[in-house]
Structure 1
Amino acid sequence: MIGFPVDELLSEEECYRYLKRSLHPEGLFCPNGHELPDDQAPHDRRRTPIVDYRCRECGAVFNIFTGTVWSKTHYDPSTIVMLLRGFAKGVPTKQLTDEMDLAYPSVLKRRHRIQEAVQQGQRVGLPGEAPKDGLPDPEVEADEMYQNAGEKRKPHRNLDDPPRQRANKARGRGTYENDRPPVLGMVGRETGWACFRVCVDTKEETIRRTVAGETAEEACIFTDENRSYLWLESEKESRSRRAVDHSRGWAEDRDEDGIREIHVNTIEGIWTSLRNRLRRFRGVHKDHLSGYVAMFELAFNHDQITPALLQRMCGM
């Protein structure tokens, strides 16, 4: 999972320079796009090392956080760095607020904003992850996971709408409506990149729309016996399907070359990591589940935090 070293970020000045360098690698600009001259003195130093500048062209006052999810924040640079690190590594909000003596509601709200920013930027094609047009791999494994996710912390004052019990034992396949939203996961066998999408259900139309949007047109999709993938066997479909019959085992060797290539073991193994990450939060509201899954995707596809990733997390 993603690494976020902090050995060089042991002071407010170092944290400030790190954030400035990561968020503004091409230099600082005002909200209207005017470049800040290298020799311009700060306009306001009261929150040093965070300083405000006034644009000589338009008069706008700004700092390194203007236009990001940290705009107008009162947190110190070191607090922001540690929160970003915690969010990226999946540290629960309660643990972060207890360790850093911060207000839980404000940090949780900030976390949701950052996760929304990551989710909105999933298709920008950063290095080390799937490009804008989806996974480029010729072979992709696809599978679904069902995650118990209700309406955490939402009051249920209507007697006809009581909160569900902790163990959701709803029969049948999970859906968004019965508080077991499905997560459709795809992983490329060549690149190792993965993408995950929270869906409202696992009907054929939903699966088709998601898979078609995240895989190459000529890709071979490896699945289990789920009938929602039958559209892949149509003669009009450019993609193809190879489904493993789990009644015969976890993998099959149909071409008799000694390699059991028909399986979905890779994506099924990834579900363990996603479940372990979500379990730490002691429940997630289903409206925010896609944000937590998006953060998991970001952490899964990258070994180290980069300026590009920080810019995405900060909504730039």
Structure 2
Amino acid sequence: MKGARGRGTLEKEKPPVFGMIQRGGDVVVQMLPDVKQKTIKPYIESCIQPGSTVYTDEYVIYANLTQLGYKHKTVNHGSGEYARDEDGDGFYEVHVNTQEGCWSLLRSWLRPHRGISQEKLPKYLAFFEFVHNAKKRGKALIFSLLENVLCKKLTMQ
């Protein structure tokens, strides 16, 4: 089965998922009601320091990043561009491959669940984010999970 074309919305029961990842760092993944500049702006401003360079594709919702105080570099997937070497050193520094790889991991992680309700999707995304950011796999992950749960419980008391 092929889904309907176009951007997802909660009303269409195709919730949009917004993500940001620091190269070599942490990921933030969030289900949103829609994909509009005013919706993503608070997430960007809470996670990315002004003056940072942000790499995106050319989707229109990212058009105002320079007005928000960020350096903004884009790749144009529509014209077949996926990475660009801007300074001629042979290293293709302008790309969104880090985030694309994260989306691939998320899809692979969600696929065995064979459909997740919109109500539960934020919890699945939060757990994926936690596991990715813990940077621990296998048995080592359980200690990170316990530490996180216990520390939150202690700070709530």
Q: TM-score under structure 2 normalisation?
A: 0.84
Distance 2:125 2:3 in 1: 22
SS of 1:238 mapped into structure 2:
coil
Counterpart Cα distance in 2 of 1:242 and 1:312: 38
Aligned residues: 147
Which amino acid counterpart does residue 16 of structure 2 have in structure 1?
P
Select which of 308, 312, 315 maps to 2:147: 308
Structure 2 residue 30 is matched with structure 1 residue 197 = yes
SS in 2 for 1:242: strand
Question: Would you say 1:215 and 2:54 are equivalent positions?
Answer: no
242, 259, 268: which one pairs with 2:73?
Answer: 242
In structure 1, which of residues 262, 267, 270 is the aligned counterpart of residue 99 of structure 2? 267
Which stretches of structure 1, 4 residues or more, deviate above 6 A after TM superposition?
312-315
The 3-state SS of whatever aligns with 2:110 is: helix
Summarize deviations over 1:37-58 as a string: whole Å, max 9, x none: xxxxxxxxxxxxxxxxxxxxxx
Q: 1:229 aligns with which of 62, 66, 72?
A: 62
**Greater Cα offset, 306-315 or 288-297:** 306-315
How far apart are residue 180 of structure 1 and its match?
1.2
| Letter matched to residue 274 of structure 1 | L
CA gap 1:174/1:168 in 2 versus in 1, 3 angstroms: farther
Aligned counterpart, 2:111: 279
Which string of whole-angstrom CA distances, capped at 9 and with x for unpartnered residues, describes residues 29-85 of structure 1?
xxxxxxxxxxxxxxxxxxxxxxxxxxxxxxxxxxxxxxxxxxxxxxxxxxxxxxxxx
CA drift of 1:312 comes to: 6.2
TM-aligned CA deviation for residue 280 of structure 1? 1.5
Unaligned runs of 5+ in 1: 1-166
Partner amino acid for 1:230? A
Matched residue of 1:233: which SS?
Answer: coil
The answer to whether structure 1 residue 169 and structure 2 residue 6 are counterparts is no
Q: Write out aligned runs for 1:32-43 (5 A).
A: none
Question: What is the CA-CA distance between 1:313 and the residue it aligns to?
Answer: 8.0
Mapping for residues 1-316 of structure 1, pairs under 5 Å = 167=1, 169-189=3-23, 191-234=24-67, 237-246=68-77, 247-302=79-134, 303=136, 304=141, 305-306=143-144, 307-311=146-150
Q: Distance in 1 between matches of 2:153 and 2:132?
A: 19
**3-state secondary structure, aligned to 1:231:** coil
Identity %: 35
Q: TM-score, normalised by structure 1?
A: 0.44
CA 1:239 to 1:175, structure 2 compared with 1: closer, same or farther past 3 Å?
Answer: same
User: Is contact 1:208-1:231 (8 Å) kept?
Assistant: no
Cα distance in 2 between the residues matched to 1:263 and 1:170: 27
* 1:249 to partner: Cα distance: 2.3
2-side partners of 1:312 and 1:179: how far apart?
A: 35
Higher share of residues assigned helix: 2
Deviations for 1:149-205, whole angstroms, at most 9, x for unmatched residues? Answer: xxxxxxxxxxxxxxxxxx46333211111111111111112x421111111111111
Superposed CA RMSD: 2.0
